[in-house]
Amino acid sequence: MSFSRPEGLEGPRACGPYELPGVLDLANLVMRTLETPKGRPPSRPTIGFDYPHVFNPHNLENIRIFVHHGHVVCSLGIYSTIVRTPRGGISVGGICCLATHPEYRRLGLATQIMEDAHAKIQSNGHHIGLLSTLIVDYYRKLGWETAGRQRFFTFDRGNVRFLPGGDDIELTEDWRSRAKELNLLHLEEPISSPRSDERFYLLMERKSESVFVGLRKGKAAAYACVKGHLVKEYGGKLEDVGALLKAVFAELDESDTSTTERLPGHRATIQMQVQTPDTLDGLPGFLLQNGVPSHFQDMGMIKLIDVQGLLGAIQPHPIRATQTGQHWQISNGEVEQTLSERELVKLLFGPERQPGFAPDLFPIDFYQWPTDRV
């Protein structure tokens, strides 16, 4: 479908240093003000606060825009990360805050800026794109597919005792002076994204309501990033993380409050959820083995940018992939399959499985912590 391009429209292109405020104005209008439920006060314009690691003067090349007569009318941000997995590092370009001004919709700008973002992600050397959205069918038309795996374990007073570890850990919320120690704990996780100490501090500050630290002999042994009753990230050895989460649950539970003192329609006691990779290792593996209730979700939408680079980055990789038109011929020894690009996403990252094709290799144990996601 062709669209009439307004006279004087520039882009898609990189954001200039004096255009960044316009990007934030547009994103806040579309994703905060216009998304406010009817009858409620306008939402706070928090995009700049929520995503300072994306929308900043050091990332202008990765902020893509359309400009009309000096006004930013369509924009998005790209956040570059590496996800270290047990089989190798996967380079990820996260898509953040695609926004089009209401007066410039139905001109094809969103599609054009997404295609420009695909090209930019490729030129950055990323293997895949990653985004979160509620309008999956729109992105499917651009080659994206729901994929990835994550779990949410649920704890209450009846099963919190099934967490590993004892009650011998000291709890503190004084995390800022220990941010460097906590970042080292993050880097020791089997699946993690390397962060500078400054980036770790920033993400904890902006992406959480509380950060709890478990101390042993005065040293940080584990940490948990918490928002509401959801643990969004943790780090540390299994026994230390388990002990810390028990202490965090006790802190959130307010056990002195009677279970009869509750608002109508509300639970008498809290439920704490812990968000984890979907893996049989570490904390999630322990919890699955012990039958702790959990539910499963895909992680978002993924687009393959560099299939050969991705296969070369993960070990072992006895997989051969050849692209023919819109399809990929995938072979594993004598086993071959012809897949569309979106079907290949499912093969590589799940959650759905391609029956009989390299079940020992796929899906990859890939997970990006919510604090890193945009």
d(CA 307, CA 323): 9
Query: Cα–Cα distance between 297 and 74 in angstroms, integer?
Result: 30
Can you give the pLDDT at residue 143? Answer: 96
What is the biggest distance separating any 2 CA atoms in the chain, rounded to whole angstroms?
68
What is this structure's pTM? 0.94
Q: What are the pLDDT digits (tens) for 198-248?
A: 999 999 999 999 999 999 999 999 999 999 999 999 999 999 999 999 999
Mean pLDDT of the chain: 94
Mode of pairing for the β-strands spanning 170-172 and 300-304? unpaired
pLDDT surpassing 60 at residue 188:
yes
Cβ neighbour number for residue 108 with a 10 Å cutoff: 16
- Tell which residue, 325, 314, 300, has the closest CA to residue 84: 314
pLDDT given for residue 255 in this prediction: 67
Contact partners, residue 221, CB within 8 Å, separation at least 6: 169, 214, 215, 236, 237, 240, 244
pLDDT class for 319, splitting at 50, 70, 90? confident
- Can you read off the two tokens belonging to residue 268? 């008498």
pLDDT at 317 over 80: no
Residue-wise pLDDT for 236-295, tens only, equals 999 999 999 999 999 999 766 665 665 555 556 899 999 999 999 999 999 999 999 999
224 contacts: CB under 8 Å, gap ≥ 6: 211, 212, 214, 231, 233, 234, 241, 244, 245, 248
Give the per-residue pLDDT at 38.
87
- Which residue in this structure is represented by tokens 């216009």? 34
| CA–CA dist 126, 120 (Å, integer) | 9
